[in-house]
Amino acid sequence: MTTVRIDLAYHGAGFAGWAAQPGLRTVQGELEAAIERVLGVPAPLTVAGRTDAGVHAWAQVASFTAESEPSETLARALNGLTGDDLVVHSVAVAADGFDARRNALSRTYCYRVLAAPVRSPFERGLSLHWPHRLHPGLLERCAEKVVGTHDFTAFTPTDTEHVRFERDVLQCEWRRGRMLGPQGGRVAPGDGEVLELWIEADAFMRNMVRVIVGTMLEVGSGRRDLDDLRRLLAGAPREAAGDTARAEGLYLAGVRY
């Protein structure tokens, strides 16, 4: 048997998440159907990060086992069968026993926030519009507090299958991003900006990044005290944290092996 690695990207708006679900269009369902059509046999996929409905991926990784090494044209063949919102970047033979999920050392997510008085049509579905006042310095201090090993019980739904709530956050920082628009510039120069939260951890729980962002935005806009975040990271219940930020601003940005 041959272990095969697939590197792919997708725009999450048209998918009900990664995991296959009867009657729904999902990334796993579409990709597995395409692989089976090309290879002629089922090929159940293992994935590095099970993204939720509406979440995007710049650098997702999946793996499966096959009877023989894949053809050099497999990536092109798969791209001919999937929609234009899902792209296979590469297909390659991996080391025996490689598992896209279990072998991942860390995952990195990016969350994009359009901090502007009015929406941008070019950012629709790609970032969270935040029209309220926002203090970047407070956001940066929030990011500093998140780095390290913490209890993230407050940042995932109460109804969960997780049994371990500690996660090791390796990096967390806010960066200024690039607003999409004509010639890559701003639609209204000087009237807003894109802020990006980049966070890397050993593992993530459902909605973890989105609740972190929602809570940080409350701190950054003066609706919540900075010390509240410290208390939340000590294992507070879910209802103590902020709102869950919308899925459209979240991207799986990378997986480290």
Give the pair of three-digit tokens for residue 226.
């900075």
The residue among 221, 66, 4 whose CA lies nearest residue 132 is: 221
Give the pair of three-digit tokens for residue 11.
């725009």
Contact 42, 32 (CB under 8 A): yes
Q: Out of 52, 85, 99, 151, which one is annotated catalytic? A: 52
Contact 238, 244 (CB under 8 A): no
Distances (CA, A) of 216 to 25, 138, 169, 212, 247: 32, 8, 16, 6, 16
Distances (CA, A) of 193 to 216, 237, 246: 17, 33, 18
Catalytic annotation on 225?
Answer: no
Give the pair of three-digit tokens for residue 16.
């009900």
User: Tokens 């860390």 appear where?
Assistant: 106
Q: Enumerate the active-site residues.
A: 52
